[in-house]
């Protein structure tokens, strides 16, 4: 009989009605003293092959005893295999269930070689980590992921900073200058990846501090952060290894004093990024409306550029055509609402960037069938296409896309009056990976056709808001 962890059903309600059973070498051993919370944690681990092996080892230990055993009665060398199969957050949550389990977790920790990643979600306070640190020396945590609105962030960062290389605090409202100071001072120049997306208390002072103390930084996400040229200049001068920089600004930001922050990153700092961060592969300056061709033209000289997102910026064919000529590795281009972008530059991208997988050219009035057909003919790996409100895009180019882009997953054609039902059907038939299809207010698309498509391909999310849909 195969060793492993077996249980009746998939829900804890079933488990409450029957004991947890481990089968080992043909014999069954019951863990009758498990509480419901313990079972929930262990079952999550049991879906991992490593944890199933651990359960078998636990059964061996159970076989040497008489009667049911509790989890905390297992020897540390067995328990450590279970713990390593859990993420650290689950481990700490397990330890919070009872004092006996907490002592057992602490007994197992010295046998764990390294806690490489801490997913800090729902784990209570930082006390568990700090206690582990005190009992067993500094934990070798290289990645820390905070959940939004997490309290005691400062103490947690102080405890783990020495080994951190990756820090993810997206939307965490407790990250401020004090936390950043503790992070950069304690990390000893090891930080390589930082995500501060929508951290409303991260400002120029914090970013400058990061730049000056993180010379090896490669990835920085400052999307929707209130930063300006002041800190981005420091970043350009201090982090030459930077590969990923996200400065995008969302239209739905609702900070109390959002003000004109979307205008405070300009060509002045982006020019310096392009000139000094030559390893740059990803740049998002979406809706930073003071960014123009002057800086983006220089960014296209970065030889490894793969992702460029300039939606809502004052860029034109001047810089985008240059992108097509100089960045053959480009995979992702977003020029949504860039009124100066036309067929001229999109054709250049089609000709020069054959590995393109994503093109967002929505609301670019000068983009028509001419360039979208070129994309279809020359970019066979295309997965995402948005030409919303491009009235010059018709059934002709949609058919070219359908014929040549079998990997297409997302197609946005809303407000394109020239798109026909035949072209949509061809896209559905020829693109087996298609999962999202948008055709709102496409004049030639009828209600019966939409209903038929939804019945034939229910795995595709079809959006088709017309006047007749409001009456159903």
Mapped to the 3 state alphabet, what secondary structure does the chain carry?
A: CCCEEECCCCCHHHHHHCCEEEEECCEEEEECCCCHHHHHHHHHHHCCHHHHHHHHHHHHHHHCCCCCCCHHHCCHHHHHHHHHHCCHHHHHHHHCCCHHHHHHHHHHHHHCCCCCEEEECCCCCCHHHHHHHHHHCCCCCCEEEECCCCCCHHHHHHHHHHHCCEEECCCCCCCCHHHHHHHHHHCCCCCCEEECCCCCCCEHHHHHHHHHHCCCCCEEECCCCECCHHHHHHHHHHCCCCCEEECCCCCCCCCCCCCCHHHCCCHHHHHHHHHHCCCCCEEECCCCCCCEHHHHHHHCCCCCCCEEECCCCECEHHHHHHHHHHCCCCCEEECCCCCECEHHHHHHHHHHCCCCCEEECCCCCECEHHHHHHHHHHCCCCCEEECCCCCECEHHHHHHHHHHCCCCCEEECCCCCECCHHHHHHHHHHCCCCCEEECCCCCCCCHHHHHHHHHHCCCCEEECCCHHHHHC
Contacts of 435 (CB under 8 A, 6+ apart): 409, 410, 459, 460, 461
When the candidates are 2.60.40.1840, 3.40.50.800, 3.80.10.10, 1.10.606.20, the CATH number that belongs to 350-472 is 3.80.10.10
Q: What are the CA-CA distances from residue 338 to residues 307, 333, 334 (Å)? A: 17, 12, 9
pLDDT of residue 66: 41
- Would you say the C-alpha torsion 346, 350, 356, 362 has a positive or negative sign? positive
pLDDT of residue 414: 97
pLDDT of residue 19: 41
Quote the CA–CA distance of 276 and 458 in Å, as a whole number: 49
pLDDT of residue 101: 57
pLDDT of residue 360: 98
Quote the CA–CA distance of 320 and 375 in Å, as a whole number: 14
Please provide residue 18's backbone torsions phi and psi, each rounded to the nearest 5 degrees: -145, 150
For the chain, 472 residues long, the average pLDDT of each consecutive 10-residue run is 31 34 40 46 46 50 44 56 54 54 60 51 48 52 60 64 81 87 83 92 94 95 96 97 97 75 95 97 97 97 96 98 96 98 98 98 98 98 98 98 98 97 97 97 94 95 74 46
pLDDT of residue 195: 94
In the chain, CATH 3.80.10.10 sits at 350-472
Quote the CA–CA distance of 195 and 168 in Å, as a whole number: 5
pTM, entire model: 0.76
pLDDT digits 0-9 by tens, 157-205: 766 667 778 888 888 888 888 889 888 888 878 899 999 999 989 999 9
pLDDT digits 0-9 by tens, 315-324: 999 999 999 9
pLDDT of residue 144: 65
Quote the CA–CA distance of 131 and 120 in Å, as a whole number: 15
Please provide residue 449's backbone torsions phi and psi, each rounded to the nearest 5 degrees: -65, -45
pLDDT of residue 154: 67
pLDDT of residue 110: 56
Quote the CA–CA distance of 24 and 60 in Å, as a whole number: 7
Do residues 224 and 247 touch, judged by C-beta distance below 8 A? no
pLDDT of residue 5: 32
Q: Could you tell me which of 361, 406, 360 has the C-alpha nearest to residue 379?
A: 406
């Amino acid at each position: 009989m195969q060793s492993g962890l077996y249980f009746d059903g998939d829900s804890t309600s079933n488990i409450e009605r029957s004991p947890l059973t481990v089968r080992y070498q043909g014999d069954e051993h019951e863990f009758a003293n498990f509480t419901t919370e313990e079972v929930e944690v262990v079952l999550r681990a049991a879906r991992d092959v490593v944890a199933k092996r651990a359960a078998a080892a636990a059964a061996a230990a159970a076989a040497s005893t008489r009667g049911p055993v509790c989890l905390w009665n297992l020897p540390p060398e067995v328990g450590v295999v279970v713990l390593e199969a859990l993420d650290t957050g689950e481990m700490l949550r397990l330890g919070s269930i009872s004092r006996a389990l907490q002592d057992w977790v602490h007994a197992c920790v010295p046998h764990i070689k390294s806690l490489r990643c801490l997913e800090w979600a729902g784990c209570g306070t930082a006390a568990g980590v700090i206690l582990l640190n005190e009992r067993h020396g500094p934990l070798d945590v290289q990645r820390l992921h905070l959940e939004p609105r997490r309290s005691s962030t400062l103490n947690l960062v102080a405890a783990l900073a020495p080994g951190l290389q990756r820090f993810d605090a997206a939307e965490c409202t407790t990250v401020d200058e004090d936390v950043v100071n503790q992070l950069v001072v304690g990390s000893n120049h090891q930080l390589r990846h930082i995500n501060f997306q929508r951290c409303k208390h991260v400002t120029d002072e914090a970013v400058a501090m990061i730049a000056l103390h993180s010379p090896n930084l490669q990835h920085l996400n400052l999307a929707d952060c209130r930063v300006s040229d002041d800190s981005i200049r420091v970043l350009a001068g201090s982090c030459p290894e930077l590969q990923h920089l996200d400065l995008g600004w969302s239209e739905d930001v609702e900070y109390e004093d959002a003000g004109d922050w979307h205008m405070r990153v300009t060509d002045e700092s982006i020019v310096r990024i392009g000139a000094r961060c030559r390893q740059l592969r990803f740049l998002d300056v979406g809706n930073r409306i003071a960014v123009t061709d002057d800086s983006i033209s220089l960014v296209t000289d970065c030889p490894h550029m793969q992702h460029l997102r300039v939606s809502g910026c004052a860029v034109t064919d001047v810089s985008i055509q240059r992108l097509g000529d100089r960045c053959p590795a480009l995979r992702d281009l977003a020029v949504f609402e860039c009124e100066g972008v036309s067929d001229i530059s999109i054709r250049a991208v089609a000709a020069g960037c054959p590995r393109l997988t994503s093109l967002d050219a929505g609301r670019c009035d000068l983009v028509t069938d001419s360039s979208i057909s070129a994309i279809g003919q020359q970019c066979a790996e295309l997965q995402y296409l948005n030409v919303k409100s491009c009235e010059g895009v018709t059934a002709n180019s949609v058919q070219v896309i359908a014929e040549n882009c079998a990997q297409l997953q997302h197609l946005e054609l809303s407000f394109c009056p020239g798109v026909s039902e035949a072209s949509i059907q061809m896209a559905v038939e020829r693109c087996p990976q298609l999962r999202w299809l948008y055709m709102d207010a496409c004049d030639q698309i009828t209600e019966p056709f939409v209903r038929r498509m939804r019945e034939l391909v229910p795995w595709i999310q079809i959006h088709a808001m017309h006047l007749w849909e409001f009456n159903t």
